[in-house]
Amino acid sequence: MSSATGRRLGRGSVTILWAAALLLIGGAGLESLTLALAFGEVQQGSSALLQATDRLGAHPEQWTPDRISAAGRLNRTAGPLLERGCARLQSNPIPRAAGGLPVAGADTTAVLDLCDAGIAASRSLDDFLRVARAYQAVERDPAPPGARFIKLLSETGAPLRDADARLRPVLARLRQDLARPLAPPLRAKVAEAAGRLADAEQRAALGLGMSEQLGPALGSSRPTTYLVLLENPGEMRPSGGLIGSVGTITFANGAPSQLEIRPYDDYNRLLKQRFPIPSPLDRLMSFYNNALEIGDAGWDPDFPTTARLAEAMYKSATGLDVDGTIAFDPYAISALLAVTGPVSVPTFGTFSAADVYAQLNYIINVQSAYPHEGKQALPVVGREVLKTVLAQPIAAWPRLLDVFQQQARGRHLQIEVHDAALAKSLAAGDVDGSIAATPGDYLMVVDANVGATKGDLYANKSMSVRSEVYADGLSRHLVTIDYSLPAFNDDLARALNPGDGSYRDYLRFYLPEHAAVAGVKAALDSQPSVAAPVNVTQEHGRAVVGVFFILPPQHSLRLQLAYEVPLQVGRSYSLFIQKQAGSPGLPTDLLVSYPGGRAERHLALDRDEEVGYRW
């Protein structure tokens, strides 16, 4: 965070400032000499700031006492130089005179804003040094990990708040500069600086949010209990996968004090009320007592909606209330193991980042006589992974937090809480798994495997989107999704895909509310096929187009949806493509034609993507 900011302002802004000096110094005399001295001080200060940030390092494992001390000394040199140099620039009549010119004025303002950004970076580095010292102190603390984590959150709040307050306004000014006509080299540097500062400010804001709200969420003031949903995207459902296991985790003073996870079907016979089966799931699958089961509570891709339903079902079965819901999948577990290393679990073996998903599927569906029996491995493995995560040294905590953030962005981790302030922060950070409320064009493709197989582990999927945007505000789209299913030639594949192994899927397209559907086509092995009737509804302020299909092994299927969307007339266009929770990614080719232009992009779609064009 600090290193990136310093590097930006150390090299990029110095080049621009000196280039601007050549343009601004129009005559000899004291003003020109003062201006030259100012640029010299800014150059020296930026160089010292760069050395300071490099010396500190970007990761806590680099934050040794010697490095913290050296970075502090360098920044104490950098700060005064930057402040004196920028003060000379701001008071010098030559830049002020250039500021009155129509074109040079915008460039001069941008140069001065870059200078101010350097000062903000130096002062925020002081804040990050305080954070580094807090890490050092907590690492030496003999208290339990949970208590140390709560202490760290408490002591880093003030410096992170200060860093966020310093970085946010200079970032806003750089963005304003980018909205004005600038010389091309200067524009490139300002854009680069704004990008780096945006990343630093976002990290400071995220850290501040955690320091203010994560403590209470982890039981700093009272024990907190969350419903836990372990989803299996091998049997994809709209919320991220079949909810194979359900339980609770209780936090007290920053650490888990209790973890209970059971197979979802343990709860079915305990339900005190009947929960209706959503349409058309009631026509596609059969259920115990003709009522919705908690394992299928994830029929809605909007995770807060799924969480509320799962909590109601859990309370019906147990009579217990919770403080929120946490859902995660094996991809998230694998990412954690990539940081902690392999975990050995008595009776069940060793699990690593590379094989945890495959091993769990084998234990549950092949090694055990019955899946319910195999699912008993899940709470045991989960507890061992959790113990290993908690045993990590303080220096590894930021990497673990990075994993949590990355998995949340990929929607492999979703969290819904009842605390209003924390819920707002989670929504702002895209951690709550909600359907995005975006003003422009929108698309989300949602699979629901209704065949009781693990076909999503084997099906190959890809998408192409062809969009034509017109000056009158209309956009037309053709979305093509290709599926192919291989033959199941080994015992594991056949066990995970029983019966004839066909992939039975209810596919939904989420579109802007006022989208008009032109039609849906299907082709099996390149031959036109009759798809099931198309179901068009409205959910969460979106138009939803649903279609059911069956894909046998060794066959391929292509589905195409044509539709158009009325948009606000203007000279720009944006398309937000939201990924489905649990999906490892959906390779997508995007082609957009707009007035006077055409653009192609390939997206992995392993996280939400937004593209925009102007004309």
Mention every residue, 6+ apart, whose C-beta is less than 8 A from residue 490: none
Number of domains the chain is built from: 3
User: What are the backbone dihedrals phi and psi of residue 568, each rounded to the nearest 5 degrees, phi first?
Assistant: -70, 135
User: Do 176 and 245 share a domain, yes or no?
Assistant: no
Q: Is 234 found in the same domain as 205?
A: no
Same domain, yes or no: 17 and 60:
yes
d(CA 9, CA 16) in angstroms, rounded, equals 10
Do 283 and 421 reside in the same domain of the chain?
yes
For 32, half-sphere exposure in the C-beta direction (CA atoms, 13 angstrom radius) is 8
355 within some domain: yes
Evaluate whether 245 touches 259 at the Cβ level (below 8 Å). Answer: no
Confirm whether 436 is domain-assigned: no
CA-CA-CA-CA torsion sign (422, 423, 424, 427): positive
Q: Of the candidates 217, 245, 263, which is a domain's last residue?
A: 217
Question: In DSSP terms, which residues pair with 246 in a beta bridge?
Answer: 229, 262
- The 10s digit of each residue's pLDDT in 95-125 is 555 444 444 578 888 888 888 988 998 999 9
Judge if 200 and 62 occupy the same domain. Answer: yes
Give backbone dihedrals phi and psi of 479, rounded to 5 degrees, phi first. -105, 125
Are 602 and 481 found together in one domain? yes
Below-70 pLDDT ranges, the chain: 1-38, 92-104, 368-374, 530-533
Domain contains 433: no
In a domain, 435, yes or no: no
342-380 pLDDT, tens digit each: 999 988 889 999 999 988 888 877 776 555 566 777 778
- The reply to whether 258 falls in a domain is yes
Picking from 169, 192, 217, the residue at the C-terminal end of a domain is 217
| pLDDT attached to residue 235 | 96
pLDDT of residue 155: 92
pLDDT, tens digit (0-9, with 9 covering 90-100), for 254-298? 888 888 888 898 998 899 999 999 999 999 998 878 899 999 999
Q: What's the rounded Cα separation, in Å, for the pair 48 and 53?
A: 9
Same domain, 341 and 269: yes
CA angle 570, 576, 582 (to 5 degrees): 175
Does residue 149 belong to any structural domain of this protein?
yes
Domain stops at, among 373, 406, 428: 428
CB 242 within 8 A of CB 232: yes
Instruction: Name the residue type at position 376.
Output: Q
pLDDT value of residue 23: 36
- CA 414 – CA 426 distance, rounded (Å): 9
209 and 229 part of one domain: no
Question: Tokens 């950004």 map to which residue?
Answer: 117
Pull the structure tokens for residue 184: 């091309």
Both 26 and 164 in one domain: the answer is yes
Q: Is 291 helix (H, G, I), strand (E, B) or coil?
A: coil
CB 476 within 8 A of CB 564: yes
Position 288 in a domain: yes
Same domain membership, residue 346 and residue 304: yes
Q: Given this model, what pLDDT does residue 541 score?
A: 95
Q: Domain of 523?
A: 441-614
Q: Residue 294, exposed/middle/buried by CB under 10 A (0-12, 13-18, 19+)?
A: buried
Strand partners, 592: 467, 599
- In CATH, what number is assigned to the domain containing residue 485? 2.60.40
Domain with 315 in it: what CATH number? 3.40.630
434 domain residue, yes or no: no
Same domain, 355 and 392: yes
Do 63 and 210 have their domain in common? yes
The rounded distance, in Å, linking the Cα atoms of 308 and 311 is 5
